[in-house]
Chains A and B, each alone.
Chain A
Amino acid sequence: MKQRLIPITIISGYLGSGKTTFINRLLAADVLPSKVAVLVNDFGDINIDAKLIAQISDDGSVVSLTNGCVCCTLQDDLANTFERISSLAIDHVLLEASGVALPNKLRTQCHYPGYFPQHCAVTVDAENYHKKRQDKYVGNLVQQQVLQADTLIITKLDLAGSFELPDSHDPGRPNSTDLSPAKQYSVTDPQLIYHLLEPVKGLNYKPGSSSDMASFSSCTLEQHKPIDIQELSDLLATVPAQIERIKGFVDTPTGLQLIQKVGKRCSIVPADAAQNPGLVFIYPSQAANPAEVLQVNWKPWMTLRGNHLHSAHHPEQS
């Protein structure tokens, strides 16, 4: 039986940065489309208006809402929760992550049969972020969370007035064209929820961090000759299966195109600024290196420039 995969939107962010407040706001405003499963760490801090509650499961772990959504606690590990909700009629998951989880690790956890990670947002407390990122114990963690986000949800702007990421958050990436910064939204932006339920625009997968739990490698191809858009589209559709993301700019007879491909979803849109043409192919380090195949298939237009292991999968000696 072929089933549609259920997309997951991850809401990550350090403790106290506003994840739960944001989820409470969504529930209170009743803005979630039907059939969204909201997975939360515990119900203790979640306020669900009694009028919205249709049914509560016997063990109290699943609350069905009158608008067709469900709220569910992550009682044990994520894998168990996915099994538990697999029988429910849902078509999207909103996942509240633990405050100490890293987005890249969460993404790999969300590749459970039947599901895929579509979008990872990280809440950033505008008032306290700059202090927190220097904390002796969690400074590195909160910075990594921000660096690995697709979207940043800026909270407590009313207290802070404004918010800017520090310059140091431009990590020394292999080259400057392959990754764009996460898009920032204010938590009060009414468009935010619709953005979060959509696939990521402006890919922001950051394989360069050495503390990624999942380790990814990349191949970079440099373009030396323009390629027809149809041919480009065919080639992008037939890259080796282990490649998870493709990002970059490609020169075509109709101008420079911005390419973003995540899983099977691919977008080719005109680029709005001049960039060096080339593509970065990202794949799990555990998988076979696709460099050779890419080199052959793309040879008329591109040449291999780099093949990097971005973060060693740390030794699992035990």
Chain B
Amino acid sequence: MLTLFTAKSIITMNPSMPAADAILVGDGRIIEVGHEDKMQPWLDAHPHTVDRQFSEKVICPGFIDPHLHPTMAAVLLPMEFITAMRWKLPWGIVEPTTTAEQFDQRMVALHAQKEPDAPLFIWGYHQLWHGPMGKQRINNVSSERPMVVWHRSFHELYMNDAALKMTEINEQDIKPGAQVDFSNGHFYENGLGLAINRLNPWLLAPDKYAAGLQRLKQVVQHGGHTSIGDLATGLFDFESEANALASILDGDDVPFRTRLVAHGTAILKGSQSIEDGPALAMQLIERNSHRLKFGKHIKLFCDGAFFSQLSQLMEPGYIDGHQGEWLMPPEILEQNMRAYWHAGFQIHVHACGDLGIELTLDLLEKMQAEKPRFNHGFTIEHFGFSTPEQIKRIKALGAQVSANVYYLHELSDIYSREGIGYERASQMSRLASCFTNDINTALHSDFTMAPAEPLNSAWVAVNRINHAGEVMCAQECLTAQQALEAITINAAHVLGMAADTGSLRAGKYADFTILDEDPLTCDAMRIRDLRIHATVFEGKVFPLDS
């Protein structure tokens, strides 16, 4: 049985037929895209129904986030959010909380709502907006209920007396230098490891983790996604993660598929060497199910995180003179890259600062000299700060870009003042240059680093407005068309799924995101607010209630 969906308009992302108004679906795949009257031969030959539920809607290719972390999300999502930025979650919009007073009011309200005795985890605190945090401040909300306030960056947290008691962390355990200020309930950087170890029974208990993954499933659907990439399967623990994902992100009720890209060093066990990696990664493919698929992809890591200013920068570096970090010695990155490059893998490298990107490109150039490859899909992941010269190199070496453009929105204002200065802060996410140079370029959230809302990422890429309301480097703004490509067909290319999804044409999966309005013609400032009416995954409609 075929189904003919009609729409006010259909955005195909197929340059040969950019727009249409009808799409015929059979057995989860697209039979034909175009106009109803041209589809008569198919309709005459096969039994069909006509579904006009989207006749006043706009059909887009299903959105794709090519880089997020379901496991991290599963830990975070059961927590309550109090954030300076807006977060749109399936169970409600978290409106910005931008003052200390509002933060306290929200804590009091959450405490009042929460069932007695249960610990209360709050995420999203940031001193710039919410003032100094401390044990006494949380005790003022409740000294009986264990409460943990987690910093937006994940790098620090605060506990009240009840939480310290619950975790059995004692003052005499804490030594000077431990990066714990016990009297203030403050655990930061390395001191956080202790806090997390003691909180794990509440954070990673199997039922909590499963509940977190269920929430992630809702988040992914509500963002309008029909495909996502888990860009470091094994981030915490390979087997337990893979099993949990298989039990929750598979099944007929799941409206999206997941490309699993293994964490390059997490797949090695015991005395296995880097050179064993490609064969081990190939074995993972045997675990594939319909919705969860490993591929000939691997994730490697170059420099430190952009959010914590540990990215490696070329001169003149950071204003305060501190240095970034390498996540592995460059020689080890090279050894990994060589193993996977020669084995024909698509390599995804986490590279955030311009020195990190430079190293990544130097190594790619070396690999190309050793064994030239075309259409290799080598992807720079995150792409925080780059130089114009690197754009040319990325093109010349045949690489592609998957960018977390949200950096620009949340960080460019503060980094211009406390980080790297205005010139470089304003030129984060140098994306229009990528399009001009015909580099395949996608947008991702790295959720939980940015909201898992492709329309929000597109909104940032098109408007380049930071949280302070300033337009940062208008020259690098994408057009709405480019931004939509970046969350559909280009993202499909990054995940090696472009033959199956990412655009609407005969033969691909019937993966749609149904919008009330056309993102290509609406006011660019409204892109992130467009209502997602439903998603369609392999021909099956999944309505959204909100």
Evaluate contact between B328 and A100: CB separation under 8 angstroms.
yes
Bound Cα distance A211, B318 (Å): 10
Bound Cα distance A14, B194 (Å): 27
Q: Which of A79, A286, A311 contacts B193 (CB 8 A)?
A: A79
Provide a sorted-by-A list of 15 A–B residue pairs whose CB atoms are within 8 angstroms.
A43-B271, A73-B270, A79-B196, A108-B191, A109-B193, A112-B178, A210-B322, A211-B322, A284-B177, A311-B320, A314-B308, A314-B318, A314-B320, A315-B309, A317-B414
Evaluate contact between A144 and B418: CB separation under 8 angstroms.
no
Evaluate contact between B179 and A137: CB separation under 8 angstroms.
no
Bound Cα distance A83, B407 (Å): 35
List, in ascending order, chain A residues with CB within 8 A of B174's CB: 113
Per-residue A-contact encoding for B294-332, CB less than 8 Å = 1, 0 else: 000000000000011100100000101111011111111
List, in ascending order, chain B residues with CB within 8 A of A61's CB: 270
Q: Which of B188, B328, B329 contacts A14 (CB 8 A)?
A: B329
Evaluate contact between A99 and B176: CB separation under 8 angstroms.
no
Residue of A nearest to B324 (CB): A211
Evaluate contact between B326 and A241: CB separation under 8 angstroms.
no
Kindly provide the distance from the CB of A201 to the nearest chain B CB, expressed in whole angstroms.
19
Evaluate contact between A317 and B128: CB separation under 8 angstroms.
yes
Residue of B nearest to A14 (CB): B329
Bound Cα distance A137, B318 (Å): 16
Per-residue B-contact encoding for A98-135, CB less than 8 Å = 1, 0 else: 11100001011101111011000000000000000000
Chain A residues touching B, range: 35 or more
List, in ascending order, chain A residues with CB within 8 A of B196's CB: 79
Evaluate contact between B309 and A44: CB separation under 8 angstroms.
no
Given A316-B308, A317-B414, A318-B307, also A111-B179 (CB < 8 A): yes
A242 part of interface (Cβ distance < 8 Å): yes
Evaluate contact between B327 and A316: CB separation under 8 angstroms.
no
B272 part of interface (Cβ distance < 8 Å): yes
List, in ascending order, chain B residues with CB within 8 A of A138's CB: 326, 329-330
List, in ascending order, chain B residues with CB within 8 A of A44's CB: 270-273
Q: Which of B179, B181, B323, B325 contacts A108 (CB 8 A)?
A: B179
List, in ascending order, chain B residues with CB within 8 A of A98's CB: 328-329
Residue of A nearest to B177 (CB): A111
Given A44-B273, A100-B327, A286-B179, also A210-B193 (CB < 8 A): no
List, in ascending order, chain A residues with CB within 8 A of B237's CB: 76
Residue of A nearest to B413 (CB): A317
Given A211-B322, A311-B322, also A105-B190 (CB < 8 A): yes
Kindly provide the distance from the CB of B319 to the nearest chain A CB, expressed in whole angstroms.
10
Q: Which of A141, A263, A317 contacts B176 (CB 8 A)?
A: A263
Evaluate contact between A314 and B309: CB separation under 8 angstroms.
yes
Kindly provide the distance from the CB of A107 to the nearest chain B CB, expressed in whole angstroms.
7
Evaluate contact between B325 and A100: CB separation under 8 angstroms.
yes
Per-residue A-contact encoding for B317-355, CB less than 8 Å = 1, 0 else: 010111101111111100000000000000000000001
List residues 200-250 of chain A with CB under 8 A from any CB of chain B. Answer: 210-211, 213-214, 241-244
Evaluate contact between B270 and A78: CB separation under 8 angstroms.
no
Evaluate contact between B175 and A79: CB separation under 8 angstroms.
no
Partner-contacting stretch, out of B147-155, B201-209, B431-439 = B147-155
Q: Which of A5, A16, A316 contacts B151 (CB 8 A)?
A: A316
B359 part of interface (Cβ distance < 8 Å): yes
Residue of B nearest to A83 (CB): B197
Evaluate contact between B197 and A108: CB separation under 8 angstroms.
no
Bound Cα distance A52, B270 (Å): 19
Closest 4 CB pairs of A and B: A79-B193, A318-B153, A113-B173, A111-B178
List residues 146-178 of chain B with CB under 8 A from any CB of chain A. Answer: 151-156, 172-178
B130 part of interface (Cβ distance < 8 Å): no
List, in ascending order, chain A residues with CB within 8 A of B409's CB: none
List, in ascending order, chain B residues with CB within 8 A of A140's CB: 323
List, in ascending order, chain B residues with CB within 8 A of A213's CB: 189
Residue total for B at the interface (Cβ-Cβ under 8 A): 57
Evaluate contact between A316 and B155: CB separation under 8 angstroms.
yes
Kindly provide the distance from the CB of A208 to the nearest chain B CB, expressed in whole angstroms.
11
B444 part of interface (Cβ distance < 8 Å): no
List, in ascending order, chain B residues with CB within 8 A of A190's CB: none
Evaluate contact between A100 and B326: CB separation under 8 angstroms.
yes
List, in ascending order, chain A residues with CB within 8 A of B418's CB: 315, 317
A42 part of interface (Cβ distance < 8 Å): yes
List, in ascending order, chain A residues with CB within 8 A of B156's CB: 316
List residues 272-318 of chain A with CB under 8 A from any CB of chain B. Answer: 283-284, 286-287, 311-312, 314-318
Kindly provide the distance from the CB of A102 to the nearest chain B CB, expressed in whole angstroms.
8
Q: Which of B126, B175, B410, B415 contacts A111 (CB 8 A)?
A: B175
Evaluate contact between A107 and B153: CB separation under 8 angstroms.
no
Evaluate contact between B178 and A60: CB separation under 8 angstroms.
no
Evaluate contact between B326 and A141: CB separation under 8 angstroms.
yes
List, in ascending order, chain A residues with CB within 8 A of B414's CB: 315, 317
Residue of B nearest to A117 (CB): B177
Q: Which of A15, A43, A73, A283 contacts B329 (CB 8 A)?
A: A15
Evaluate contact between A286 and B321: CB separation under 8 angstroms.
no
List, in ascending order, chain B residues with CB within 8 A of A244's CB: 176-177
A77 part of interface (Cβ distance < 8 Å): yes
Evaluate contact between B188 and A137: CB separation under 8 angstroms.
no
Bound Cα distance A311, B322 (Å): 8
List, in ascending order, chain B residues with CB within 8 A of A42's CB: 270-271
List, in ascending order, chain B residues with CB within 8 A of A283's CB: 176
Evaluate contact between A108 and B190: CB separation under 8 angstroms.
yes
B419 part of interface (Cβ distance < 8 Å): yes
List, in ascending order, chain A residues with CB within 8 A of B327's CB: 100
Kindly provide the distance from the CB of A21 to the nearest chain B CB, expressed in whole angstroms.
16
Given A284-B177, A314-B318, A316-B156, also A16-B323 (CB < 8 A): no
Bound Cα distance A109, B237 (Å): 21
Residue of A nearest to B265 (CB): A42
Q: Which of B151, B176, B318, B329 contacts A242 (CB 8 A)?
A: B176
A80 part of interface (Cβ distance < 8 Å): yes
Bound Cα distance A317, B411 (Å): 7
Evaluate contact between A318 and B308: CB separation under 8 angstroms.
yes
List, in ascending order, chain A residues with CB within 8 A of B328's CB: 98, 100
List residues 52-90 of chain A with CB under 8 A from any CB of chain B. Answer: 60-61, 73, 76-80, 83
List, in ascending order, chain B residues with CB within 8 A of A111's CB: 175-179, 190-191
Bound Cα distance A117, B418 (Å): 32
List, in ascending order, chain B residues with CB within 8 A of A14's CB: 329
Evaluate contact between A15 and B181: CB separation under 8 angstroms.
no
List residues 249-263 of chain A with CB under 8 A from any CB of chain B. Answer: 263
Kindly provide the distance from the CB of A318 to the nearest chain B CB, expressed in whole angstroms.
3
Bound Cα distance A206, B435 (Å): 47
Bound Cα distance A58, B155 (Å): 33
Evaluate contact between B175 and A116: CB separation under 8 angstroms.
yes
Bound Cα distance A44, B265 (Å): 14
List, in ascending order, chain B residues with CB within 8 A of A113's CB: 173-175, 178, 194
Q: A76-B236, A109-B190 are in contact. List 20 more A-B contacts (CB 8 A).
A: A44-B273, A100-B326, A108-B191, A109-B193, A111-B177, A111-B179, A113-B175, A114-B173, A141-B326, A144-B323, A210-B322, A210-B323, A211-B323, A214-B189, A244-B177, A284-B179, A312-B322, A316-B156, A317-B414, A317-B415
Residue of B nearest to A45 (CB): B271
Q: Which of A114, A241, A315 contacts B419 (CB 8 A)?
A: A315
List, in ascending order, chain B residues with CB within 8 A of A141's CB: 323, 326
Evaluate contact between A214 and B320: CB separation under 8 angstroms.
no
List, in ascending order, chain A residues with CB within 8 A of B419's CB: 315, 317
Given A15-B332, A109-B193, A286-B188, also A317-B323 (CB < 8 A): no
List, in ascending order, chain B residues with CB within 8 A of A77's CB: 193
Bound Cα distance A314, B320 (Å): 7
